């Protein structure tokens, strides 16, 4: 199969860039894969890209040239924001090529892209025909103009049917899929398919686990840092925190006052795997919907149980008593109680749940399964195309 992958890099590298590279390498082992990438710029170049994002004729020209050169059977889009824009979809479809698009975030539902604003969930845009409230609040980059421009771009392409042209959307979880199905986008449910991300197999930990718990992630409010710290303060529960972000100083101050909390700083890949292998459980107190938390996949790969808030993606990934346990989102007292119950379990029970975490990884989040799902989605997109359109695609 000939596959053309399109991706727009943000100014600061993130998880979407990692997934793009992972999937490109994975597919290239057996398929003919080509890619075309764009980069968000700073300064006046970034302003120019933003202004043209509703209808970027230069990006469309590059994409048409890439399609003529590589003659793909299918185009897979990862990120369009903002140096490419939705015109990429129209360019590919006009040339008779099936289009698959991964929904890494919630940008099609809300300009915030996260459904989170000012320290709490923000879902007002999901069913709105136009997200006026989001614009008034400036939920994107704390800017009314940027929010308006992004919202208008999404709305314009909803009105002219661009989002309907995508043959298959990839949602990362069942929860995310349902959000998109129930939204105001008006896209048929059968176009949304679920395919999670994956991580490399680091094998299940074999050494005895210690009694401390672990948090790994970006140190931001939406990750539930305040809930995490409140749950551990004044207890004998041991916590190690790894990561970096705006709340780093808050964590350092709290760790300095509470001997049971240790801040490890930002860690490399090997150190993260080692920490996961030695802790009794990963604590994941996120207070927003999340997309596909790679940290959870890494925990499952090492057979590490997860104590997670019962919200969004976590509801689709953490199964009570099977690969972890859950607690009500934002409830530090409930988290504290769950941790006490967890440590009161006998070793055999904790090991059983750890084995369940590893089984979750083997069944859902391996590279092999990911590749199978991707190719099945591509075939589904190709088969959904009218025969006269496929005649021009080289299929």
Residue 181 shares a structural domain with residue 244: no
Q: Are residues 59 and 107 in the same domain?
A: yes
**Residue 205 vs residue 171, higher pLDDT:** 171
- Assign 11 a pLDDT band (cuts: 50, 70, 90): confident
pLDDT, residue 395, reads 34
If one counts every other C-beta atom within 10 angstroms of the C-beta of residue 341, the result is: 12
Closest CA to 16 of 107, 86, 93: 107
Whether 282 is covered by a domain: the verdict is: yes
pLDDT tens-digit profile of 355-394?
Answer: 999 999 999 999 999 999 999 999 999 999 886 655 444 4
Tens digit of each residue's pLDDT (9 = 90 or more) over 78-121: 999 999 999 999 999 999 999 999 999 999 999 999 999 999 99
Looking at 159-255, which runs of residues are DSSP E strands? 168-171, 192-194, 213-216, 239-242
Picking from 221, 268, 227, the residue whose alpha carbon sits closest to that of residue 248 is 221
Same domain, 227 and 332: yes
Asked if residue 287 and residue 191 are part of one domain, the reply reads no
Average pLDDT of 184-208? 92
pLDDT at 166 over 90: yes
Give 310-337 pLDDT, tens digit per residue. 999 999 999 999 999 999 999 999 999 9
Q: Within this chain, do residues 155 and 109 fall inside the same structural domain, yes or no? A: yes
Q: Does any domain span residue 316?
A: yes
In a domain, 383, yes or no: yes
Quick check: 324 and 318 in contact, CB under 8 A? yes
* 34 plus 133 within the same structural domain: yes
In a domain, 206, yes or no: no
pLDDT of residue 100: 98
Name the average pLDDT for the chain: 95
Question: Does residue 231 share a domain with residue 323?
Answer: yes
Are the CB atoms for 240 and 262 separated by under 8 Å? Answer: yes
pLDDT of residue 12: 82
| Domain match, 80 and 178 both | yes
CATH number for the domain spanning 167: value is 3.40.50.2000
Give the pLDDT score at 394.
40
Query: How high is the pLDDT of residue 387?
Result: 66
Instruction: For tokens 């979407």, name the residue.
Output: 16
**Same domain, yes or no: 249 and 315:** yes
- State the total domains in the chain: 2
- The token pair at 273 is 């795997």
Q: Which residues constitute the domain of residue 287?
A: 213-364
DSSP lists the bridge partners of residue 241 as 215, 263
Mean pLDDT of 147-173: 98
Residue 88 lies in a domain: yes
Are residues 224 and 251 part of one domain?
Answer: yes
- Render pLDDT for 259-301 as a digit per residue (tens, 0 to 9): 999 999 999 999 999 999 999 999 999 999 999 999 999 999 9
- For the chain, the C-alpha Rg in angstroms (whole number) is 22
**pTM for the predicted model, two decimal places:** 0.93
């Amino acid at each position: 199969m000939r596959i053309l992958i399109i991706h727009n890099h943000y100014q600061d590298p993130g998880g979407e860039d990692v997934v793009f590279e992972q999937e490109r390498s994975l597919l290239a082992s057996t398929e003919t894969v080509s890619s075309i990438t764009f980069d968000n710029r700073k300064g006046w170049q970034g302003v120019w890209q933003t202004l043209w994002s509703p209808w970027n004729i230069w990006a469309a020209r590059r994409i048409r040239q890439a399609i003529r050169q590589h003659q793909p059977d299918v185009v897979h889009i990862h990120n369009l924001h903002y140096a490419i824009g939705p015109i990429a979809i129209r360019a590919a479809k006009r040339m008779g090529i099936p289009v698959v698009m991964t929904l890494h975030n919630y940008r099609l539902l809300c300009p915030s892209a996260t459904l989170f604003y000012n320290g709490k969930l923000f879902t007002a845009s999901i069913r709105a025909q136009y997200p006026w409230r989001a614009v008034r609040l400036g939920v994107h980059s704390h800017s009314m103009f940027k929010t308006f421009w992004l919202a208008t771009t999404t709305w314009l392409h909803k009105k002219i049917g661009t989002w309907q042209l995508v043959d298959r959307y990839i949602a990362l979880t069942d929860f995310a899929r349902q959000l998109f199905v129930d939204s105001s986008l008006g896209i048929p449910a059968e176009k949304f398919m679920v395919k999670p991300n994956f991580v490399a197999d680091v094998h299940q930990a074999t050494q005895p686990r210690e009694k401390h718990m672990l948090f790994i992630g970006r140190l931001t409010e939406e990750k539930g840092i305040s809930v995490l710290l409140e749950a551990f303060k004044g207890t004998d529960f041991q916590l190690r925190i790894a990561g970096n972000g705006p709340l780093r100083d808050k964590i350092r101050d709290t760790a300095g006052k509470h001997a049971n909390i240790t801040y490890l700083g930002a860690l490399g890949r090997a150190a993260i795997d080692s920490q996961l292998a030695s802790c009794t459980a990963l604590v994941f107190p996120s207070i927003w919907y999340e997309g596909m938390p790679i940290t959870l996949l890494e925990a499952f790969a090492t057979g590490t149980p997860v104590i997670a808030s019962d919200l969004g993606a976590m509801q689709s990934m953490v199964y009570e008593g099977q690969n972890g346990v859950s607690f009500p989102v934002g409830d530090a007292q409930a988290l504290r109680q769950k941790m006490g119950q967890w440590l009161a379990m006998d070793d055999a029970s904790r090991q059983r749940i750890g084995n369940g975490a590893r089984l979750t990884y083997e069944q859902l989040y391996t590279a092999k399964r990911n590749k199978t799902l991707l190719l099945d989605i591509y075939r589904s997109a190709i088969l959904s195309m009218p025969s006269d359109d496929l005649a021009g695609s080289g299929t």
